[in-house]
Amino acid sequence: MITTLVFVLGGCNDAASEKKNEEPSILFESVTVIDAKSGERANYNVLVSGNKIIEVSDQPIESPPNCTIVNGKGKYLIPGLWDAHVHVTFTPGLEQAMFPLFLGNGITSIRDTGGLINEVVPWKEKSIKEPNSSPRLFIAGPLLDGHPNVYDGSPGRPEISVGLSSEEEAIEMVDSLAAAGVDLIKSYEMLSPKMFKTILATAEKHNLHVTGHVPLSIDVVEASDAGLRSMEHLRNLEMSCSSDFDSLLQARKQMLAQGKDYLGGTLRSEIHSAQRMHAFKTFDEQRASKVLAALKKNGTWQIPTTALTTGGINRLYENEDWKKTFEFLPETIRANWIEAANKAAEKQSSEISVAHGKWVLKMVKKLKDSQIKVMAGTDTPIGFLTPGFSLHKELEMLVKGGMEPLEAIESATLLPAQYFKVQDSIGTIEKNMIADLVLLDANPLSDITNTRKIIAVVRNGSYYNRKALDSLLNSN
Ligand SMILES: [Zn+2]
């Protein structure tokens, strides 16, 4: 549970309390400002008043009354970070811990990519009602799946999807989600091409992006041509980049037709086990170039979730430093994770998971070279990816895959803001932007893992010093 927070809302000057009209303000002096638009600006002053950045200048700024002055010498100020692939309601008992863990790690905006609508809406409402102590939350509602649906509530597959039976049902569902206030729609793997396209068309009417696991029944290029706005985990891209892509698709369609009585999770696993390794082995550079060119042309963004998809290589479940992040989880969840981590560590990584990890890192470079827009997202709390901490691992893996540190920062700041068309208010450090900021003790451009060296976070103008961040992290 969240205990009383020790955060500082400005207020270094007692005389200010007499001046009721003065908003609390924060002045960062002589700080190095870094954002994806202007790069690195050394020795700048940044003034925050209320919930806005009101001045960014290389000239001295006079501190107003009621101002917190922060000496920024040798420090680095970056925009508040995003985790663009999160499931806030995936693990019962962990929901309450999510927001403090994100804020405590400098993540001021999140994109929830799947949860039942009645379960995610209250968190969205909380983030709107309490913007100074919650990350900004964008929600997709449930995964829209066909039959049998994958996340159906069976063991290991929490119920975060709906299985749709007809195009009418799909239209009704998208209409109702739009009415409930979702920010995007998520399509899933068991949809037929027809249902998938119906979802795309209905979402477009509501001006909502559709992000997806590309359905198994359709090729990635066809899904992109049909208007899929973004793809999660590079899912099923490997099958479309194989020299055998056509016969793999035909075989998949057959398995889908024959597996109607299976559990969705079982059927999907069988298909992946039958095709994935073969797809990695028959990766075709020319075919991949064509697929990536289509994604670029259509503006289909990618969320490769590299911290998750390199799981078989990184083996975070046996990494003692990583396991220390479990200490910030609620007690019962922590015990479950430790038990599951110990079990996972006993086994060798499968050949397929190692091949998958290597392929994903190779693809990060290809996405960059193809100028395809990428967002940093982690899939937390899946795969032992501790909320908040996992975003910093994601940034590290994006750089390992071939991004420059500033590009990795862009993927977690400016690009997600552009994705939701809120780049005029967040994502960069400029005058009139909302004050979502992270102050670092070392330069993230010389080493991306320096994004973990957080001295302070500003969320909607509220200043959290290190002590306040620690109490957020320890509040669960
Ligand atoms: Zn996910």
Give per-residue pLDDT as tens, 209-248.
999 999 999 999 999 999 999 999 999 999 999 999 999 9
- Measured in Å, residue 302 CA sits from the centre of ligand 1 at 13
**Residues with CB in 5 Å of ion ligand 1:** 113, 379
**Residue 432: which of 46, 43, 30, 10 has the closest Cα?**
46
- Measured in Å, residue 100 CA sits from the centre of ligand 1 at 20
**Burial class of residue 42 (count of CB atoms within 10 Å of its CB; 0-12, 13-18, 19+):** exposed
| CA dist., res. 273 & res. 139, Å (int) | 31
- Measured in Å, residue 305 CA sits from the centre of ligand 1 at 9
- Measured in Å, residue 145 CA sits from the centre of ligand 1 at 13
User: Looking at the predicted structure, is the pLDDT value of residue 86 above 50?
Assistant: yes
Contact assessment for residue 213 and residue 189, using Cβ atoms and an 8 Å cutoff: yes
Give the percent of the chain with pLDDT over 70. Answer: 96
- Measured in Å, residue 39 CA sits from the centre of ligand 1 at 31
User: Looking at the predicted structure, is the pLDDT value of residue 21 above 60?
Assistant: no
- Measured in Å, residue 385 CA sits from the centre of ligand 1 at 12
Positive/negative CA dihedral, 324, 330, 336, 339: positive
Cα 71 to Cα 24, 30, 55, 75, 428: the distances in Å are: 17, 7, 16, 8, 21
Give SS3 for 380. strand
- Measured in Å, residue 230 CA sits from the centre of ligand 1 at 13
Mean of pLDDT values over 73-96: 97
**Burial class of residue 231 (count of CB atoms within 10 Å of its CB; 0-12, 13-18, 19+):** buried
Give per-residue pLDDT as tens, 375-428.
999 999 999 999 999 999 999 999 999 999 999 999 999 999 999 999 999 999
- What are residue 320's phi and psi, to 5 degrees? -60, -35
Q: What share of the chain is helix, strand, coil (3-state, %, to 5)?
A: 45, 20, 35
| CA dist., res. 8 & res. 186, Å (int) | 38
pLDDT at 4: 40
pLDDT at 12: 43
- Measured in Å, residue 381 CA sits from the centre of ligand 1 at 9
- Measured in Å, residue 113 CA sits from the centre of ligand 1 at 6
Overall residue count recorded for the chain in this entry: 476
- Measured in Å, residue 85 CA sits from the centre of ligand 1 at 6
- Measured in Å, residue 26 CA sits from the centre of ligand 1 at 37
| CA dist., res. 210 & res. 158, Å (int) | 22
Give per-residue pLDDT as tens, 338-352.
999 999 999 999 999
Mean of pLDDT values over 69-90: 98
| CA dist., res. 136 & res. 158, Å (int) | 24
- Measured in Å, residue 3 CA sits from the centre of ligand 1 at 29
The chain-wide mean pLDDT, for the chain, equals 94
- Measured in Å, residue 87 CA sits from the centre of ligand 1 at 6
pTM: 0.94
- Measured in Å, residue 80 CA sits from the centre of ligand 1 at 22
Give SS3 for 342. helix
Least confident of 15-19, 110-114, 302-306, 314-318: 15-19
- Measured in Å, residue 377 CA sits from the centre of ligand 1 at 9
